Every structure is written in C-alpha cells, then in structure tokens.
Structure 1
Amino acid sequence: MKPSALLLLLGLLSFRLMAQNPVGIFENHADIGKVLQPGTATFDKPTQTYQLSGSGENIWFKKDELHFLYRKTVGDFIATTQATLSGKGTDAHRKTGWMYRSSLDTSAAMVSLTVHADGLTAFQYRKKSGTNIEEIKTPIVHPDILQLERRGRSFFVSVAKIGNPFWTVEIPDFDLPQEMLLGLFVCAHNKNQIEEAKLTQTRIFTAVK
C-alpha cells in the first residue's frame, strides 16, 4: 500500500472513532438545535444508570433544543426506562424521556415520550419534518416506568407507577423511515440553564433476525 493511501485510511479510521462516542448501549450523543450550554452523557455500569445533562429552550413547534443520547434502530422496537429529573431545577417544564428521530436536525420528524418536572407526562410528535409538534397527555403523572413501542405505522405509549397496571394508548398512521435514531434526552426548557436527568432500567428490544 502506498504511503499516501495508508495515511488516508488511517485518517478515515480516526475520523470514525472521533465521530462515535458510545455510552452504555447507545452509539453517540449530541446537542440538537442552537443550545447555549453543551450537554453530556455518562453511564454508571454498577447501578445501570444513565446521567444526562443539557440545556435547550424547548421541544415545541418547529424547533427542538436538547441533549440526545442515541443509537440507530431499524424497524419495530420496545423501549423501557425509569426516568427522574435531578434537583429542583428552574422550570416546571424541564423534561426527559425517550426520543425517536429521523435525524439530528432541529425540526426533524420525531416522537417522544416525555415526563416533565411537574409530573406532566405526554406523547409528543412531529409526523413530518418542519411541521409543528402535536401532543397527547397521559392521565398518569410522575410515572415510574416509560415504555415506547413502534409497531409498523403505529406507536404504543405505556406508562405506570410501580404496583399499578399500565395505561396504554395507540397513536396510528405514522409514515416514518425504518431506520431512525432512538434514545434518551434531556431539555432544560431554559436556554441559559443546564439540567440533569437520571434514567435506569433502560432496555431496547428489537426482533431477532
């Protein structure tokens, strides 16, 4: 192999290693939107806990600002986690949970199962890139378990407190790509603030090929 070709190969390998920043079962993490404060993501193996920090003004209308820990997922899945926001925070609408996006663009098509600091829990979604977010609120506040499932063109949202049955709803008619980015997120709902979230018992189940 010529020296120039070898240097090019080594450069490409170095770029790939730099581009990927795996944390636990996830492949990478990144800020989405024009956030003022960079976010972080870590995984504590003994306690099986993901800790996210991030800023961001909101996830609403046609613009999302958040920190996102994600991996590529193809086809149907079931994703579960237990999510809590750390400390008192500065805004009752700071939020965390599951997010499923077509890209890292601020107005990408996406769905999210979101729990807010005040306990409000909702399924928020943008069926097409560049459109406004829609929302379905659940009757369960401060749930212990968040479960998001894709089944073809439908999403199933299930939330529960430990010891009680799941509340579940189906939201149909999504025309989304088979390959998308699935992961955990945190949004401060305050562009000048950094908030933290802890997520445990996080699992992603996909079909065995």
Structure 2
Amino acid sequence: MRSFALVSLFGLLSLCSMAQHSVGIFENHVDIGKVLQPGTAAYDKAHQTYVLTGSGENIWFQKDELHFLYRKTVGDFIATTQATLSGKGTDAHRKTGWMYRSSLDTSAAMVSLTVHADGLTAFQYRKKPGTNIEEIKTPVVHPDILQLERRGRSFFVSVAKIGNPFWTVEIPDFDLPQEMLLGLFVCAHNRNQVEEAKLTQTRIFTAVK
C-alpha cells in the first residue's frame, strides 16, 4: 500500500511539473541556444495576451538564440497574431513573431515570420538543419497582423496594418516533417539584455478531422 502511494505521489508530481510549463494554448516554453539570461512566458486571459521575455544574441546563420513558447502541430495550419515589442529596448533588431521548428536544437530547420523593433518584417527560414538562414523582406513595416500558413510544401506569409489589405507571398519547396513545433518567440539581439514582447489575438487553425 505504501509503495503504491509513493508511486502515485511521484506520478502526480511529474504531471504537475509538466503542467507548469503549459501557457494558454501552448504546451511548453524554453530557451533555445546558449542564452545568458533565462526567458519567461505568461498568458493574460483577461486581455488575451501572451507576454514573453527573453535574451539571445540573434537568429541568423546557423545558430538561433531565443525564448520559444510552442506546441506540437501536425500538417497544415494558419496561425495569426498581433505582436509588439515593449519599451525602447537596446537594439533595433530585437524581434518577435511566429516560429515553426523541426526541433529545439539551435540549428534546426525552421521558418519564422518576424517583426523587428525598427519595423522590418521578414520571413526567415532554414530549410535544412545546420544551414544558413535565408530571408524575404516584406514591404510592410510595423504591421499590426502577422499571419503564417503552411500548405503542404509551401508557406504563405501575410502581413497587414489594420484597415489595409494583406500583403501576401508564397514561398514553395520545403521538405519539412509533418509534425513540428509551432509557437511565439522573442529574441533580444543582445546576449546581455532581456527584452519583452506582447502578442495578442493569437490563434492557430488546423484542419478538422
């Protein structure tokens, strides 16, 4: 009886430990890369806002450093959010937005829809693990809405200011796994600094099966 009670207690503690990392619709959050300052993630239900803090030197070339709030996603999806960076910050290239990764490795295959503090908005991607990131800049700066969509081997990026039509582009020919990690991120672009991002009206749509 005592042995069963101990097993049950350990199981309960394990479940509680796992549950502590769940935030809103997302399953977990973690620092990626050798960040010096740990990040955080929280959800304000009243305002439907995710608040992320994080450090990280950059997301570029073959190495990513950031704080990532994510969930497993299988197959096609549409993900939309409104993203802002808090305060003046320390670097014009601090950034936030959507990220979609094959793993939590610093050089994993990934795509991201990223808005920088100076307004630069870009689709950045690494088609294969360990390769350099490529980039497509959008003509819209400081967009209010970021939308990332997967359709098979293609990604569609749509950005807009409220009251204006979406600017959309298709980026084809990705050989990525069906199951990947989709979520929100923040990167300080300064390994010694912690920056904050707020993301609201965040939705992920997948096919009903």
If the length of structure 1 is used for normalisation, what is the TM-score? 0.95
Is 1:17 aligned to 2:10, yes or no?
no
1:2–1:128 Cα change, 3 Å: farther
How far is the alpha carbon of 1:17 from its aligned partner? 3.3
The reply to whether residue 60 of structure 1 matches residue 37 of structure 2 is no
After superposition, where does 1:41-190 map in structure 2 within 5 Å?
A: 41-190=41-190
Structure 1 CA distance for aligned equivalents of residues 124 and 16 of structure 2: 33
- Any idea what the Cα deviations from partners look like across 1:56-111, whole Å, max 9, x if unmatched? 00000111000001011111000000000000000000000000011111111100
CA distance in 2, matches of 1:69, 1:98: 10
Residue 27 of structure 1 aligns with which residue?
A: 27
Give RMSD over aligned pairs: 1.4
DSSP-derived class of the 1:140 partner: coil
Report the Cα offset of residue 186 of structure 1.
Answer: 0.2
* CA–CA separation in structure 2 for the residues paired with 1:47 and 1:19: 25
Aligned to 1:148, what secondary structure does the other structure show? Answer: strand
Corresponding letter in the other structure for 1:69: L
Question: Given residue 139 of structure 2, which amino acid in structure 1 is its aligned partner?
Answer: P
Task: Name structure 2 gaps, 5 residues minimum.
Answer: none
Question: What is the rounded CA distance, in whole Å, between the counterparts of 1:126 and 1:6 in structure 2?
Answer: 48
Identical positions, percent: 86
Q: Distance in 1 between matches of 2:134 and 2:112?
A: 11
Partner Cα distance (1:93, 1:38) in 2: 19
Distance 1:40 1:67 in 2: 7
**Counterpart AA for 1:190:** N
Q: CA deviation at 1:198?
A: 0.5
Q: CA deviation at 1:19?
A: 3.2
Aligned residue pairs, count: 208
- CA offsets per residue over residues 129-155 of structure 1, 9 Å max, x none? 111110000000000000000000100
Residue aligned with 1:191, SS? coil
Q: CA deviation at 1:18?
A: 1.5
**How far apart, in 2, do the equivalents of 1:30 and 1:16 lie?**
18
Question: Given residue 164 of structure 1, which amino acid in structure 2 is its aligned partner?
Answer: N
Deviation at 1:193, TM superposition (A): 0.1
Q: Provide the C-alpha distance between the structure 2 equivalents of 1:76 and 1:113, rounded to a whole number of angstroms.
A: 16
